[in-house]
Amino acid sequence: MDGLAISPLLIFLVLLVLYAISAIQILNEYERAVVFRLGKLLPEPKGPGVVLVFRPIDRFVRMSLRTVVLDVPPQDIITRDNVSVKVNAVVYFRVLDPSRAVVEVENYMYATSQLAQTTLRSVLGQAELDDLLAQRDRLNQQLQQILDSETEPWGIKVSSVEVKHVDLPQDMQRAMARQAEAEREKRAKIIHAEGELIASDKLAQAAAIIDRQPATMTLRYLQTLTEIAAEQNSTIIFPLPIELMRMLRTDK
């Protein structure tokens, strides 16, 4: 009889121990617990460390405070100059206020992802293709500011937005390649023309010096003869001044 009387007490004690063990929740340093007691939100999130949750009176939601890397799927975007491109991006954000992230929005991860997609299409659709390719830092900053202001009521801080890849159509890639080739040819022609201008200016200066000092022409002839002789040619063609030929000519 004594054994039968003790058995319900033992069962009660075992159940009490199991309930106490289940009420103990251990949170890591980067985690917080948002606790609802009888449906009402407690003022401050719990954690880190040991947290007691008395079910069914209490209900808690475990939240992570670490930075989340959200990969935005490729979006079809028509730029301001009517070019169709595919753009994907990555968003870095973290939860600053766990209570608001639970109460103000149903699923903060899904909501942030959808907001990032719509903002990406809206902002990049207002930019031209050249700006999308050359001024990506400015567009990233603009995206970050818009997302941060929109998610601030949810207790979320968007720290950075990076446009990862811009997928251009093949026709546009070929057109841009032709444009780049034409730009390089233009620069080459300009450089060649500048070289011709500098060379002609130097030749004009040399001609002016030779005109003032006729002896320099003779020195130039001798230098040319030395250069030709160094090549061991069997035939040497050496120019003579026309004035010298006139002096040697005999009138009939």
pLDDT in tens, 82-118: 888 899 999 999 999 999 999 999 899 999 999 999 9
Which residues make beta-bridge pairs with 40? 37
What stretch of H or E contains 231? none
Superfamily of 68-171 according to CATH: Band 7 domain (3.30.479.30)
Q: Is the pLDDT of residue 3 over 80?
A: no
Q: How many CB atoms lie within 10 A of CB 90?
A: 14
Q: pTM of whole model > 0.85?
A: no
Q: What pLDDT, on the 0 to 100 scale, is given for residue 58?
A: 85
Strand order in the sheet with 40-41: 40-41, 31-37, 58-64
Query: 199-213: buried (b, 16+ CB within 10 Å) or exposed (e) per residue?
Result: eeeeeeeeeeeeeee
pLDDT in tens, 24-38: 888 888 889 999 988
The helices-and-strands tally (H runs, E runs) of the chain is 8, 8
pLDDT in tens, 34-91: 999 888 988 888 888 888 888 888 888 889 999 999 999 999 888 888 888 899 999 9
What residue spans define the domains of the chain? Answer: 17-64, 68-171
Residue whose structure tokens are 């002789």: 229
Q: How confident is the model at residue 207 (pLDDT cuts 50, 70, 90)?
A: confident
Rounded Cα distance, 243 and 252, in Å = 18
